[in-house]
Amino acid sequence: MRHLLSINDLSAADAIGILDTATELARINDGQVKKLPTLRGRTIVNLFAEDSTRTRISFEAAAKRLSADVINFSAKGSSASKGESLKDTAQTLQAMGADAVVIRHSASGAAQRLADLEWMSGSVINAGDGTHEHPSQALLDAFTIRKHLGKGASDLKGLRIAIVGDVLHSRVARSNVLLLSMLGADVVLVAPPTLLPVGVESWPATISYDFDSVIPTVDAIMMLRVQQERMTDLFFPNSREYSRYFGLNSERMSAMAKHAIVMHPGPMNRGLEIAADVADSARSVIVEQVTNGVNVRMAILYVLLAGGPLEVGSN
Amino acid sequence: MSVALSAQEILEKNHGSSDITVLGIPTRGAHLAARIAAIMSSIEGKEIAHGTLDITLYRDDLRLRPPRTIMPTSIPPIGIQGRDVILIDDVLYSGRTIRAALDALGEVGRPRTVQLAVLVDRGHRQLPIRADFVGKNLPTSEKQSVRVSLTEIDSVDEVVIEGEAN
Amino acid sequence: MSSQRFLLKGGQILGGKAADLLIADGQIAQISASISDKDATVIELKGSIVLPGLVDLHTHLREPGREDSETVASASRAGAKGGFTALSAMANTSPVADTAGVVEQVYRLGQEAGFVDVFPIGAVTQGLHGEQLSEIGAMADSVARVRVFSDDGNCVFDPLVMRRALEYIKKFDGVIAQHAQEPRLTVGSQMNEGIVSSKLGLKGWPAIAEEAIIARDVLLADHVQSRLHICHVTTAGGVEIIRWAKARGIQVTAEVTPHHLLLTDDLASSYDPVFKVNPPLRTSKDVMALREALADGTIDIVATDHAPHTSETKDCEWAEASFGMIGLETALSIVNKTMVESGLLDWTAVADRMSTAPARIGRYSSHGQNLTLGSAAHITVINPSKSWVVDRDLVISKSRNTPFHGYELPGLVTHTFFGGRATMIDSKVIDKVVQ
């Protein structure tokens, strides 16, 4: 496997392999070992054309713990300020000798264009492209779910997970629907009808407009961030009405199954899609998701970069 | 049989088990380490600190093959700081695995000594590494391969040499 | 008109019986079973189909303003390569073709190039803004004699503006060619709205945004009794509305592009913007409905919507890329593949859809004469048994944004005659000899 652009690039076995590798790395990281020599001498470029501190830092920490060199390239490429094209940026990075590029971009498909057009050799890792996918987020979410609810199984069979919020614009939702269902879980999407895409019936998930009826039936609730701008674009009347129907408040939290956990990819709109006391409650694994993110991203880097194809004539 | 003898030798050389931490290198080294620890425990009449040390992430030959599975590393609570670490592996060949194990240990702490016990030493060292305790010396040619089977995973205990001598 | 004489031997006239055809003094002088003429250049066409010169009612020539992607001259040569003898220059140039001055400039550039007749299309509204009518009369009376008016690129979205435009053009025997796209439903849209777009995270362009405008405009055209033409129909729903309208006698005509007869929206999965086009590629259900409609005449013509773009506007991420595909050079082969080989159209019908009917809608009197004796010798020859592989690096157009790169297409256009001048022989474009 050369690139990680989409969950579709992984088989169930590949995904479980990454989760298992992350489990071992977590154990090592929990112990005293903070740095491993495995990717020494390799250069990883973070090409972040869209603002994101947490994902970039997570990938940077993962790379450095494996002793790779990290170059950060931050280009705020909005459609208003065109500046240097993605192609030119990529060819510049290639000249710097990058073994892998972690790309976050506001245009769906940007990671695939980078990989397909071969403006650079090396691996391309999609850290979030527009509203398309965010594979490493889904992997760390699956890792978190498996850790808390997996009962020792390698996959997520028999688990039921709700993803709640702005599914239409969410790359986290798209990657998670693909991955969680691939690992055997039942996924239910909860959102106002305006925030579900036309064509969602073809996804491996069920749909509900009724958050309250779904809550007691699930093992995990993954809240998605809702952007304030969606109100002016007529997706819902105002934040009050959104929170009333789709916000995870303490009342709704008390209706959850005893073992069920609360997740959020961050950053949170406390008070809009999730109440502050829910975010800080014992059920919330939101902070742990961040730690898991570093271990999962180390596993991704390991799987993509540590091995190599058989070189002819080597020892 | 040689496993039991090695356990005796290790205890004698280290004047007992109080400062010993036994670490097996997965996969088969880990099983051998468990056996050795059990034998030592029955001799000494007390628990022996033991665990596993996976060296995959420290290998110098990772890029020669598709990515390898990382095996479990489990250092016992008493740790290795200032202690006598007994590394256990099934076959000693080029010595690179042990070199990686020394690097891995270095990240964990600073043992007083590191000693190496192997079931089979088949020669052809590529690095200045030697075993302190050897179950059997088996001269082989580089064309041959040595396969160790253990009942824990292979349902039989045996050592097989495959291939032509020269 | 050219003075050279050509004797085309043994081609199947309109796909019918094989015959000889003599071109003399720029006209079709004679068609009969066997002609001999010692002054004529003989061209053997056994096994080939002889058609009237193709007429494109929807072409983007980009000049004035975007000559980096195409010029009137380069588009004319590309047209000749595809078998076209007439192109219609859409008005979304820079400056916009909303005055007599710009349309006359484009017309003259076409005449100078000398490969095809370039018929400029005039903008419906000033600057294509959709607010004030442009100088429709001045453009109609100019040397360019504009009859087709379109804001293509933009939709005439305001119903009152569309009504007034439909009424006003009646004085000039004009037709409004509408680009049917309700703007409020397609803000930031990137591809067809459906299952594929939901997975790819690309903003959808719903079919109803086309259907709603078609429905509104056929009712308007009926109310004010004027001529309406729907550009690049892409939806099964749009086809049904047009069929309903025609059954009621409403004066509506419609076009379909070659790419919408073949390609579907799952091609966007590669995120390669060569497949990004407006209106977008849709589903196979739509493709089938469009083919049936072209077969039964609900859709009157094939028009290319040839839209050249420079490579940097396509060599990027999808959202940044321009919309559009070139199409002049592959059009007839695609129609052969999708309509003739499948038995939906015979060559006589192809002549209607790609020559007679577009010439009639645009009022291009010297074109679409269906190879009648004495008419101008605008002729296209295609060899249906020869297939060819599309290579974007070998296109005549200045731009390379063809979605068919690497496709093997059945049927090779071998000869084109424009008013008796051979603009292409043996698939090679012949430049004008400068005296």
Q: Is the pLDDT of residue A309 over 80?
A: no
State the average pLDDT over residues C206-228: 98
Sign of CA dihedral C223, C228, C233, C239: positive
- Do residues C384 and C410 lie in contact, with contact meaning Cβ atoms separated by under 8 Å? yes
Query: What are the chain A neighbours of C315 within 8 Å (beta carbons)?
Result: 85, 87, 117
A171 and A101 in one domain? no
Does residue A119 form part of some domain?
A: yes
Q: Topology of B2-162 in CATH?
A: Rossmann fold (3.40.50)
A266: its two tokens? 């961050």
Residue C413 and residue C391: Cα distance in Å, rounded? Answer: 15
**What was the pLDDT predicted at A49?**
84
pLDDT digits (tens, 9 = 90+) for A164-175: 999 999 999 999
Q: Chain A within 8 Å of C1 (Cβ-Cβ)?
A: no
C-beta atoms of B70 and A311 within 8 A: no
Q: From CA C316, how far away is CA A149, in angstroms rounded?
A: 42
Touching C: which chains, 3+ CB pairs < 8 A? A
Separation between Cα atoms, residue A109 and residue C319, nearest integer Å: 9
- Residues 6 or more apart whose Cβ sits within 8 Å of residue A101: A44, A45, A46, A47, A90, A93, A114, A120, A122, A123, A124, A125
Per-residue pLDDT at A78 = 41
- The answer to whether C248 and C222 are in contact (CB under 8 A) is yes
Contact (CB, 8 A) for C56 and C304: yes
pLDDT for position B1: 56
Residue B160 identity: V
For residues A143 and A272, state if they share a domain: yes
End-to-end Cα separation, chain C, in angstroms: 14
* DSSP state for residue B120 in the 8-state scheme: E
Whole-angstrom distance, CA of residue A308 vs CA of residue A39 = 12
Report yes or no on A219 lying in a domain: yes
Higher pLDDT, C403 or A2: C403
Taking Cα atoms as reference points, which of A269, A267, A200, A219 lies closest to residue A57?
A267
Domain assignment present for residue A104? The answer is: yes
Average model confidence (pLDDT) for chain C? 97
Whether residue A112 sits in one domain with residue A61: yes
Q: Which helix (H) or strand (E) holds A126?
A: strand A123-129
Amino acid A79: pLDDT? 38
Nearest to A141 by CA among A169, A165, A176: A176
Same domain, A20 and A110: yes
Q: Can you name the residues that pair with C34 across neighbouring β-strands?
A: none
Q: Tens of pLDDT along A43-77?
A: 999 999 887 888 999 999 999 999 999 998 876 64
**pLDDT beyond 80 at A312:** no
Question: Whole-angstrom Cα distance, residue C254 to residue C297?
Answer: 9
A77 and A164 together in one domain: no
Indicate contact of B with C: 3+ CB pairs under 8 A.
no
Residue C25 and residue C17: Cα distance in Å, rounded? 25
Interface mutation target, options A19, A29, A30, A32, chain B, most CBs of B under 10 Å: A32
Q: Does C347 touch chain A (CB under 8 A)?
A: no
Residue A313 within any structural domain of the chain? no
Residues B41, B136: Cα–Cα separation, whole Å:
23
Whether residues A105 and A243 fall in one domain: no
Check if B68 contacts A (Cβ < 8 Å).
Answer: yes
What is the maximal distance between C-alpha atoms in chain C?
66
Strands C228-230 and B133-137 come out as unpaired
In 3-state terms, what secondary structure has residue C24? strand
Q: How confident is the model at residue A229 (pLDDT cuts 50, 70, 90)?
A: confident
Residue C269 has pLDDT above 50, yes or no: yes
Rounded Cα distance between A141 and A16, Å, is 13
Distance, in angstroms, between A226 CA and closest chain C CA?
16
Asked whether residue A214 falls in the same domain as residue A146, the answer is: yes
The minimal CB distance from B62 to the residues A21, A38, A311 is found for A38
Q: Is there a contact between B36 and B9 (Cβ–Cβ < 8 Å)?
A: no
Q: What residues of A are in the C interface, CB distance below 8 Å?
A: 79, 82, 85-87, 105-110, 112-113, 116-117, 129-133, 171, 174, 197-200, 202-203
> Distance (Å) from the C-alpha of residue B110 to the closest C-alpha of chain A?
12
From A170's Cα to the closest Cα of chain C, the distance in A is 8
**Active-site entry in C117, C265, C305, C352:** C305
- Amino acid type, C225: Q
pLDDT, one tens digit for every residue, chain B (166 residues): 578 888 999 999 999 999 999 999 999 999 999 999 999 999 999 999 999 999 999 998 888 888 899 999 999 999 999 999 999 999 999 999 999 999 999 988 999 999 999 999 999 999 999 999 999 999 899 899 999 999 999 989 988 988 887 6
Q: Is the ipTM of this complex over 0.85?
A: yes
Residues of A in contact with B54 (CB under 8 A): 24
Query: Are C414 and C383 spatial neighbours (Cβ–Cβ below 8 Å)?
Result: yes
CATH number at residue A56: 3.40.50.1370
Query: Is pLDDT of A247 > 80?
Result: yes
- The region of weakest confidence among A139-153, B140-154, C352-366 is B140-154
Phi, psi of A38 (to 5 degrees): -60, -40
Query: What sign does the CA torsion over C12, C352, C257, C65 have?
Result: positive
What's the order of all strands across the beta sheet hosting C54-55? C54-55, C84-89, C117-120
- Given an 8 Å threshold on Cβ–Cβ distance, is B54 in contact with A24? yes
Structural domain includes residue A312: no
Sign of the Cα torsion C32, C37, C41, C46 reads positive
Number of domains in chain A: 2
Q: Indicate whether A149 and A215 sit together in one domain.
A: yes
State the Cα–Cα distance between residues A159 and A161, nearest whole angstrom. Answer: 7
Q: Are C318 and C202 in contact (CB under 8 A)?
A: yes
Which chain A residue's Cα is nearest to C185?
Answer: A233
Whether A314 has a pLDDT exceeding 50, the answer reads no
Which residues of chain B form beta strands (DSSP E)?
A: 20-24, 49-52, 84-92, 113-121, 133-137, 145-149, 158-162
Query: Is A308–B66 a contact, with Cβ atoms under 8 angstroms apart?
Result: yes
- How confident is the model over C170-190, as pLDDT tens digits? 999 999 999 999 999 999 999
Are A20 and A149 in the same domain?
Answer: no
**Which residues of chain B neighbour A66 with C-beta distances below 8 Å?**
57
| Test mutation, B64, B70, B80, B105, chain A, max A CBs within 10 A | B70
- pLDDT band, residue A94 (cuts 50/70/90): confident
End-to-end CA distance of chain B: 30
Residues of A engaging B, defined by a Cβ cutoff of 8 Å: 17, 20-21, 24-25, 27-28, 31-33, 35-38, 66, 302-304, 306-311, 314-315
Residue with tokens 């502050």: A276
Q: Do A49 and A59 belong to one domain?
A: yes
CB-neighbour burial class of residue A34 (10 A; exposed 0-12, middle 13-18, buried 19+): exposed
In 3-state terms, what secondary structure has residue C53?
A: coil
Is the peptide bond between C95 and the residue preceding it cis, with omega within 30 degrees of 0? yes
Name residue C206's amino acid: P
What global pTM score does this model have? 0.91
Token pair 């459906």 in the structure block, residue: C194
Contacts 24+ apart (CB under 8 A), C25-29: C25/C1, C25/C420, C26/C1, C26/C2, C26/C376, C26/C377, C26/C419, C26/C420, C26/C421, C27/C1, C27/C374, C27/C375, C27/C376, C27/C377, C27/C420, C28/C371, C28/C372, C28/C373, C28/C374, C28/C375, C28/C376, C28/C377, C28/C379, C29/C373
Residue of A4, A16, A18, A27 best to disrupt the B interface, most CBs of B under 10 A: A27
Question: Cis peptide before B27, with omega less than 30 degrees from 0?
Answer: yes
Place of tokens 């199954």: A257
Residue C154 has pLDDT above 50, yes or no: yes
State yes or no: pLDDT of A83 exceeds 70: no
Instruction: Identify the burial level of C372 via C-beta atoms within 10 angstroms of its C-beta, where 0-12 means exposed, 13-18 middle and 19 or more buried.
Output: exposed
Instruction: Quote the pLDDT of residue A91.
Output: 81
When mean pLDDT is compared across A87-101, A133-147, C12-26, C254-268, the lowest value belongs to A87-101
> Is A310 within the bounds of a domain?
no
The two tokens of residue A140 are: 């760390």
Residues of A with Cβ-Cβ distance to C206 under 8 angstroms? 198
Q: What is the DSSP letter of C145?
A: -
Residue C173 a catalytic site member: no
Its domain, for residue A248, covers 135-285
Q: Work out how many CB contacts closer than 8 A connect A with C.
A: 78
Q: Do A152 and A253 belong together in one domain?
A: yes
Do A48 and A156 belong to one domain? no
| Separation of alpha carbons A105 and A133, rounded Å | 11
Residues C6/C36, Cβ–Cβ less than 8 Å? no
Domains of chain B, by residue range, sit at: 2-162
Q: How confident is the model at residue C2 (pLDDT cuts 50, 70, 90)?
A: low
